[in-house]
Amino acid sequence: MHIQNVTDFNLKYTLESGQSFRWNRVDDAYYGVVEGRILKICQQGTTLQVESSTDEDVSTLAAYLHHYLDLGRDMPRLLAAVDNDAYIHRAIEKFWGMRILNQALWETLASFILSQNNNVPRIRGIIRRLSEHFGEKLTLERYVDYSFPSAHALAASQVDELLACGTGYRASYLRDAAQAVVSGELAFTQLKQFPYLEAKRELMQRKGIGEKVADCICLFSLGHLEALPIDVWIKRIFETLYLRRQATHREIREFAQNYFGESVGYAQQYLFHYAHEEPNWADV
DNA sequence: TTCCAGGAGAGAG
DNA sequence: CTCTCTCATGGA
């Protein structure tokens, strides 16, 4: 299957910018497990070549990817709106076409609970082991992977099993969240209808979901581009480049949301990825 | 050996 | 309200 005329889009930057933990590059193709199937995506200019492990309808798959990859976004307009200074201008130039994904809610919620006080390679490993243990085996050609564990599967798990996957002290947070989803205490249909601040407040009711993780879920799954996850990198970036002093999370949030406006989450993603990829990011 | 990683909870003040 | 300590894990 092909998707044509995809402009202002970069698959590599989108899938390798720390918002999803489930994509692997093999040569020039990306394999990932998305909502119960393996997808293989290859970008050639403005064309995406896509294969799926299921025989789903072509137009259904195209519509899904349009949403998942945020292809309907007017990137030139959005990026122009946050292109306020030389710092972010460099990031926008270097990573032009990077999108913020619209990922599955349960997977995003669970994954970012696991992300706290942790690093990306280890988060990926934990999720891979959880999927191997609790998910379903999937194959696409010779590529084998496992679906993300359902909330039901994790709600019924033993803490020992979660610990064996490397979750550490986050095991109980993960299980509690799974049980809240299964019981209906955490209602996804309602959560998806909430505006940003209400969704964030509701998410933060869960143990293991603080302000930063809630913002990641709002931004990477619920489509709230005004969400601003403040981790050590974002804090360092704003203190160094913009405020030029030590600042609290609240000061950073207030400045950034005022300075970048309603798409501050996108601005954050470009600054975050630029700092990760460019060791000399702090130099003017 | 110590430090760090897309942090958050609990307790003290 | 803010500050500090601790939490499990593995790679640098």
**CATH number for the domain that contains residue A163:** 1.10.340.30
| pTM metric for this prediction | 0.98
Q: In terms of domains, do A68 and A78 share one? A: no
CA atoms within 13 A on the CB side of A3: 24
Final residue before a domain boundary, out of A192, A220, A248: A220
Protein CA A120 to sugar C1' C11 (Å): 12
Q: In terms of domains, do A228 and A89 share one? A: yes
Token digits for A227? 């969400």
Q: In terms of domains, do A151 and A216 share one? A: yes
Q: In terms of domains, do A171 and A254 share one? A: no
Which among A281, A265, A162 has a CA at the least distance from the CA of A212?
A265
Q: In terms of domains, do A205 and A128 share one? A: yes
Q: Tens-digit pLDDT profile for chain A (284 aa)?
A: 999 999 999 999 999 999 999 999 999 999 999 999 999 999 999 999 999 999 999 999 999 999 999 999 999 999 999 999 999 999 999 999 999 999 999 999 999 999 999 999 999 999 999 999 999 999 999 999 999 999 999 999 999 999 999 999 999 999 999 999 999 999 999 999 999 999 999 999 999 999 999 999 999 999 999 999 999 999 999 999 999 999 999 999 999 999 999 999 999 999 999 999 999 988 86
Nucleotides of C under 7 A from a protein CB: 2-3, 7-11
Q: In terms of domains, do A260 and A229 share one? A: yes
Query: What is the spatial distance between Cα A10 and Cα A24, in angstroms, rounded to a whole number?
Result: 15
Q: In terms of domains, do A181 and A277 share one? A: no
Q: Is residue A147 part of a domain?
A: yes
How many angstroms separate the most distant Cα atoms in chain A?
55
- The pLDDT tens digits for A159-178 are 999 999 999 999 999 999 99
Per-position b or e across A199-210, b if 16+ CB within 10 A of its CB: bbebbeebebbe
At residue A95, the pLDDT reads: 98
Domain containing residue A146: 105-220
Final residue before a domain boundary, out of A165, A186, A220: A220
Number of domains present in the structure of chain A:
3
Q: In terms of domains, do A210 and A110 share one? A: yes
Identity at A121, one-letter amino acid code? P
Residues 155-194 of A with CB under 7 A from strand C: 163, 166, 168-169
Question: Does the C-beta of A122 come within 7 A of strand B?
Answer: yes
At residue A284, the pLDDT reads: 67
Question: Does the C-beta of A246 come within 7 A of strand C?
Answer: no
Q: What is the CATH number of the domain that holds A43?
A: 3.30.310.260
Q: Is residue A100 part of a domain?
A: no
